[in-house]
């Protein structure tokens, strides 16, 4: 049994806790949060007796195999370095870092300590996205040459996370990072990116619409677009939609988790709906399922002493896309050449 502690008991942490309860071979034995009310509420809800308001005290007092860091990005580096110094494995919420140098420092700290560092980049772990990737890998549409990964919605994300309306950066850093990572997962690393952003909602501080074009090392050109200002006739939040054109056919992941494949053999439509876990609730169930999937993967990697799919080192490439997208948008969509890790 791998014993872990959750650091951070905020808005999304209850999904982590529910998922950990379902992951075989893992148990959260302690909690940490600076907010005592939030800490007590989470401890009572999930029956965790050992609680701390200081992460250093937690790590000194508990015998742990891992920590799950579910805090804001500004706290990630000190907490990751603290955990690495205590020789415990680490899963860290996205965005991994505010700056590339912080990401590299965290990777170095984990490597020096000989511990696993994985980023909780969960969108690629949604069952619909995994099903689409499996079809591409099987060659169902031949060699992909063009793709689109899209997330467009008018869902009120600010009610649950009000800080999103006041941060200097919004949609690329909070949501676009997921969509860019899906593009990397499907098509491989990119060597150039150009981006355009817009603020449509006058009540928020930063951008709520972004459109990015990537040229991947595989030869695929992809468009990654996200919006929290799109009032559609059918609200598909929180689904990510896909379009992929290949040399032998096309793939479309449509609203309602319909995967449509067309090639010379005809057209197939697959239902790739995520399971509704016992603790999940629509429409969040695809995100909640992906939290379980990635946390199970983390424990599998610890047991096998293998590198996670979304390791800190791998996630630097997604983080670099985010930084390059902001630079491109600031410079009137100038194409930015990437120097992947």
pLDDT at 340 over 80: no
Which of the 8 DSSP states describes residue 75? G
Mean pLDDT of 243-264: 98
| Residue-level pLDDT at 161 | 85
pLDDT at 326 over 90: yes
Q: Which burial class, exposed, middle or buried, applies to 4 when counting CB atoms under 10 A from its CB (0-12, 13-18, 19+)?
A: buried
Judge contact between 79 and 7, C-beta under 8 A.
yes
Mean pLDDT of 190-204: 97
The domains of the chain, with CATH numbers, are 2-115 (3.40.50.720), 126-274+317-337 (3.30.360.10)
- Percent of the chain topping pLDDT 70: 99
Q: At how many degrees (to 10) do helices 285-304 and 13-22 cross?
A: 60
* Secondary structure of residue 170 in the 3-state scheme: coil
Buried/exposed 153-164: b ≥16 CB within 10 Å, e otherwise = bbeebbeeeeeb
pLDDT at 341 over 50: no
User: What secondary structure does DSSP assign to 192-251, as a single string?
Assistant: EEEEEEE---TTSSS-SEEEEEEEETTS-EEEEEEES----SS--TT--EEEEEETTEEE
Q: How far apart are the first and last CA of the chain?
A: 33
Judge contact between 98 and 73, C-beta under 8 A.
yes
Judge contact between 116 and 89, C-beta under 8 A.
yes
The whole-angstrom separation of Cα 45 and Cα 17 is 10
Residues near 134 by beta carbon (within 8 Å), at least 6 away in sequence: none
| Residue-level pLDDT at 96 | 96
**pLDDT, tens digit (0-9, with 9 covering 90-100), for 223-242:** 999 999 999 999 999 999 99
For residues 67, 51, 34, 113, the Cα torsion angle rounded to the nearest 10 degrees is -30
The whole-angstrom separation of Cα 94 and Cα 333 is 25
Per-residue tokens: 258: 């319909």
Judge contact between 236 and 282, C-beta under 8 A.
no
The whole-angstrom separation of Cα 84 and Cα 88 is 6
* Residue of 70, 77, 74, 87 lying closest to 107 (CA atoms): 77
pLDDT at 339 over 90: no
* Residue of 256, 267, 258, 260 lying closest to 244 (CA atoms): 260
Per-residue tokens: 149: 């990964």
**pLDDT, tens digit (0-9, with 9 covering 90-100), for 76-111:** 999 999 999 999 999 999 999 999 999 999 999 999
Helix (H) or strand (E) holding 254: strand 249-254
Residue 259 phi, psi (nearest 5): -100, 115
Least confident among 34-38, 79-83, 158-162, 307-311: 158-162
Residues near 254 by beta carbon (within 8 Å), at least 6 away in sequence: 241, 260
pLDDT at 221 over 80: yes
**pLDDT, tens digit (0-9, with 9 covering 90-100), for 276-296:** 999 999 999 999 999 999 999
pLDDT band at residue 160 using 50, 70 and 90 as cut-offs: confident
Mean pLDDT of 169-198: 97
**pLDDT, tens digit (0-9, with 9 covering 90-100), for 2-41:** 999 999 999 899 999 999 999 999 999 999 999 999 999 9
pLDDT band at residue 136 using 50, 70 and 90 as cut-offs: very high
pTM given for the model: 0.96
Which of the 8 DSSP states describes residue 311? B
Mean pLDDT, the chain, whole residue set: 97
């Amino acid at each position: 049994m791998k014993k872990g502690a959750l650091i951070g008991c905020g808005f999304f942490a209850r999904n982590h806790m529910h998922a950990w309860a379902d992951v075989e071979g893992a148990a959260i034995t302690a909690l940490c949060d600076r907010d005592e009310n939030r800490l007590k509420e989470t401890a009572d809800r999930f029956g965790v007796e050992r609680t701390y308001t200081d992460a250093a005290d937690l790590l000194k007092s508990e015998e742990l195999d891992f920590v799950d860091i579910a805090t804001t990005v500004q706290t990630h580096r000190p907490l990751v370095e603290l955990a690495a110094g205590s020789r415990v494995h680490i899963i860290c919420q996205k965005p991994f870092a505010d700056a590339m140098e912080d990401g590299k420092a965290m990777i170095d700290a984990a490597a020096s300590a000989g511990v696993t560092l994985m980023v909780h980049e969960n969108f690629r772990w949604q069952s619909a996205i995994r099903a689409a990737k499996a079809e591409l890998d099987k060659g169902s549409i031949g060699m992909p040459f063009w793709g689109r990964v899209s997330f467009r919605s008018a869902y009120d994300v600010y009610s649950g996370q009000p800080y999103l309306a006041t941060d200097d950066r919004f949609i690329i850093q909070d949501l676009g990072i997921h969509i860019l990572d899906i593009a990397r997962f499907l098509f491989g690393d990119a060597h150039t990116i150009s981006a355009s952003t817009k603020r449509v909602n006058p009540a928020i501080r930063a951008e709520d619409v972004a459109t990015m074009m990537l040229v991947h090392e595989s030869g695929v050109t992809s468009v990654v677009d996200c919006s929290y200002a799109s009032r559609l006739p059918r609200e598909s939040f929180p689904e990510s939609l896909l379009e992929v054109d290949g040399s032998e056919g096309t793939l479309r992941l449509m609203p309602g988790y319909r995967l449509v494949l067309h090639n010379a053999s005809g057209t197939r439509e697959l239902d790739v709906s995520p399971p509704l876990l016992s603790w999940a609730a629509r429409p969040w169930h695809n995100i909640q399922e992906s939290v379980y999937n990635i946390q199970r993967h983390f424990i599998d990697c610890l047991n096998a002493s293998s590198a996670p799919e979304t390791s800190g080192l791998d996630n630097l490439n997604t983080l670099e896309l985010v930084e390059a997208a902001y630079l491109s948008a600031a410079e009137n969509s100038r194409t930015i050449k990437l120097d992947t890790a």
